[in-house]
A and B are shown apart, each in its own frame.
Chain A
Amino acid sequence: TQLLEQSPQFLSIQEGENLTVYCNSSSVFSSLQWYRQEPGEGPVLLVTVVTGGEVKKLKRLTFQFGDARKDSSLHITAAQPGDTGLYLCAGFNFGNEKLTFGTGTRLTIIP
């Protein structure tokens, strides 16, 4: 069973601060995705990283895929209240084509 552990589980910070969320596994993934989920809604894709060491930026969000393709991080600069939500990483393997989700990080940005 492939497990993806996210840390921290909960994070509450003031508007304008920076933060990093981690996604770790003992398994190698073909690609890794980050989703954000708001209450009552399904997760929505933010980014997909495919190559070990890859870094992608989406406005104030920076995503990195570990060199060994086992871990990833999400860094948010100057957090805003609109960033509040449940952040989920998800690993995908081309062999079994199963999308496995992490344990989730609930982020709250305080105005």
Chain B
Amino acid sequence: AQTVTQSQPEMSVQEAETVTLSCTYDTSENNYYLFWYKQPPSRQMILVIRQEAYKQQNATENRFSVNFQKAAKSFSLKISDSQLGDTAMYFCALLFSGGYNKLIFGAGTRLAVHP
């Protein structure tokens, strides 16, 4: 079975500082993708960053970067220079290649950015 685990229910950080959210996953597949989604109070899931499992280089999108450790099945998100607008639920998700866009989500981490 494929699972995604987020072990930090809640995190907090001061504005302008750096925070890292953890995610581990379990799968026997070799070709897959990993995502971090942000869900603000507006409820809409917003894609933050994507990582292809076959790529060794860690993905980066502006202030957001990941640390992808394939052997350890770990996929953490680092947010640099945190902003108040980063306050949201963050979900780690797993998707298998092959045409079906079925996402498997973790339980989420609630991030609060304080001024």
Do A and B associate with each other?
no
